[in-house]
Amino acid sequence: MPGHSGGVHTCGFSIILDPDFRNAKCIVVWGLGVDTSFRAIFRKPILEALSEGAKLIVIDPVKTPLAERADIWMQIRPATDCALALGMLHVIINEDLYSRDFVEDWTVGFDELKKHVQEYSPREVAEITWVPEEKIVDAARMYAKNSPACIGTGVGGLCQNVNVFQANRAIAILASITNNLDVPGGQVNHPLVLREKSSMSAQYDAPFGDLTQEQIQKRLSIGNVVKYDGFQNAHPGSVWPAIREGKPYPVKAMLGIATNSVITKENSKHVRDTLTKLDFFVVSDLFMTPTAEIADIVLPVAHWSERDEVIDAYTKNYIFCHRKIVDPPGECWEDKEILIALAKKMGMEGYFTSVEECLNDRLRRVKITFEEFREKGMIESPIAYKKHEKFGVFKTMTKKVELYSEALKEIGSDPLPVFREPPESPVGNPEIAKKYPLILITGMKTLNYFHSSFRNVASLRKLMPDPLLEIHLDTAKERGIRDGDWVKIETLRGSIKHRAKLSERVDQRVVAAPHGWWYGYRDGWKEVNINVLTEGRIHDPDMGSGVLKGLLCQVSKADSPPVEITAP
């Protein structure tokens, strides 16, 4: 959401939905897992563009396989991405590398921006980000001089900390002033095929369409922009106080669908304790997870191979028909069916009466039924570029790209992107850093696991049997840690155990952990689960994002390994 909103509040569309890597002359991969997380959709177009000579810039604290191939790899200090983007803007503006025509015709606030970025000289930004000054300058020049250029951003440094909305704004501004908006090889603004019925519809939908403003303002959420835009999302950080203290009003019951919150939300001990305080907690899942375990009722759910679906997430200009292959076993129902039955039982009116009706509704815009879609398999819509020229507007308040945003200022946010130190950092918290000198990033992905899922699948588990903390050779040596040793990772919130994976892919001051571990260990949810260590009370002031990347920690040799169990 910070990625989508950063674009929407700059140029009126989400610049992350359709990065056209294939036709780019310069590709920037910014905190995005092309080798792992987004391999299926982004790796091929990127490799093809590279084989035709496109330049590659990778911004990642870890030397990923793609970073190995980069013309410029910037090993950034975690959670300082906003400063880096502002430093690149400094170079591009001061060296006159931006598109004058585009800035004159299509933007507001350039003078303010120009003045603002003077505070972020490459030298100062190098100090903040640990990226050498020359690299910042070279990368800015490379990006601005090789048009069209395309930036791909992920959740890496750009969604899971407290400066992320502004970081994404700064990146959207980079793309704007270099004239890379809605051009082939740039950030394409392709309307989602299903528009407001799309699963990625944040930029179009009015989720509370028929509610009054007063009612909308009552929903639990965190962040100026979230409150203003009216997203559906209620952040955990706003729901937990409602459950625990009844603030601003009590939440007594919860329905958890496809969520393993005890493992995947920040500060697991707090999350688990909070969920047990609910009067009534229902979870629908395929497996008995640490979250399902504390529910009053567990609804066994149908697997995706056992249901029909319209697939449209991250699918650019097409949608796919996902066909059910087998019937669900025993008492398993699919989620849609459960929701429809619940609504009916609760006496709600005006909702779907069948799964088919629901699927047909999603397809209304493309004017076919799910039965017809089943035959067709896929629907593609044509791509059009530079729609701002055709329609004469960007979809913002001023109808221009808002480099300086009066609208944001009005809701109490920074009108120009400002860098803020993460809440835990060696710079901002030197006292804490004495005890916890290393910076922890979490959520490193492998192809075989999806978040907290699949550790119970033997063939997948074989590929990565234990949670591995990537730690620099020298950092490990100082601590008497050898490759494969069990280590204790500790933050202000608690400690857990992982195995050390010695590496030179990370800086001596940074360690990188996966997330989602619990299965197969006694009390796995607190012994090996990384979210025992993460921070759940501090949020991005605009988006409410929590802190999953860039925390302070200490690593030492563990006294004993976690106790393995043969799970039921």
Ligand X SMILES: Nc1nc2c(c(=O)[nH]1)N[C@H]1C(S)=C(S)[C@@H](COP(=O)(O)OP(=O)(O)OC[C@H]3O[C@@H](n4cnc5c(=O)[nH]c(N)nc54)[C@H](O)[C@@H]3O)O[C@H]1N2
Q: Which is nearer to ligand X, 388 or 455 (CB)?
A: 455
Tell the smallest beta-carbon distance from residue 463 to ligand X (Å): 11
Q: Which is nearer to ligand X, 286 or 473 (CB)?
A: 286
Tell the smallest beta-carbon distance from residue 123 to ligand X (Å): 20
Tell the smallest beta-carbon distance from residue 63 to ligand X (Å): 9
Tell the smallest beta-carbon distance from residue 234 to ligand X (Å): 14
Tell the smallest beta-carbon distance from residue 529 to ligand X (Å): 9
- Give the number of other Cβ atoms within 10 Å of residue 123's Cβ: 12
Tell the smallest beta-carbon distance from residue 32 to ligand X (Å): 5
Q: Which is nearer to ligand X, 402 or 490 (CB)?
A: 490
DSSP secondary structure letters along 328-388:
PPTT-B-HHHHHHHHHHHTT--SS-SSHHHHHHHHTGGGT--HHHHHHH-EEE------HH
Q: What's the CA gap between 272 and 276, in Å, rounded?
A: 6
Q: Which is nearer to ligand X, 65 or 248 (CB)?
A: 65
Q: Which is nearer to ligand X, 131 or 181 (CB)?
A: 131
Q: Which is nearer to ligand X, 334 or 402 (CB)?
A: 334
Q: Which two three-digit tokens encode residue 436?
A: 């916890």
Tell the smallest beta-carbon distance from residue 138 to ligand X (Å): 17
Site residues (CB under 6 A) for ligand X?
30-33, 36-38, 59-62, 64, 76, 78-79, 81, 154-157, 257-260, 264, 284-287, 289, 301, 304, 335, 441-443, 445, 447, 449-453, 515-516, 530-531, 534, 548-550
Strand pairing partners for 440? 511, 551
Tell the smallest beta-carbon distance from residue 393 to ligand X (Å): 30
R_g (Cα) of the chain, nearest Å: 24
Q: At what angle do helices 81-94 and 122-129 cross, to 10 degrees?
A: 160
Q: Which is nearer to ligand X, 112 or 306 (CB)?
A: 306
Q: Which two three-digit tokens encode residue 327?
A: 């019937």
Tell the smallest beta-carbon distance from residue 37 to ligand X (Å): 3
Query: Backbone phi, then psi, for 4, in 5-degree steps?
Result: -60, -50
Q: Which is nearer to ligand X, 287 or 320 (CB)?
A: 287
Strand pairing partners for 401? 107
Q: Which two three-digit tokens encode residue 159?
A: 């969604």
Q: What's the CA gap between 370 and 379, in Å, rounded?
A: 12
Q: What's the CA gap between 220 and 415, in Å, rounded?
A: 25
Q: What's the CA gap between 139 and 71, in Å, rounded?
A: 9
Q: Which is nearer to ligand X, 32 or 89 (CB)?
A: 32
Q: Which is nearer to ligand X, 216 or 278 (CB)?
A: 278
Tell the smallest beta-carbon distance from residue 390 to ligand X (Å): 32
Q: What's the CA gap between 376 and 193, in Å, rounded?
A: 15
- Give the number of other Cβ atoms within 10 Å of residue 120's Cβ: 25
Q: What's the CA gap between 424 and 552, in Å, rounded?
A: 6
DSSP helix/strand/coil, 492: coil
Q: What's the CA gap between 2 and 172, in Å, rounded?
A: 11
Distance of CA 167 to the CA centre of its chain: 13
Contacts of 426 (CB under 8 A, 6+ apart): 433, 437, 439, 509, 552
DSSP helix/strand/coil, 393: coil
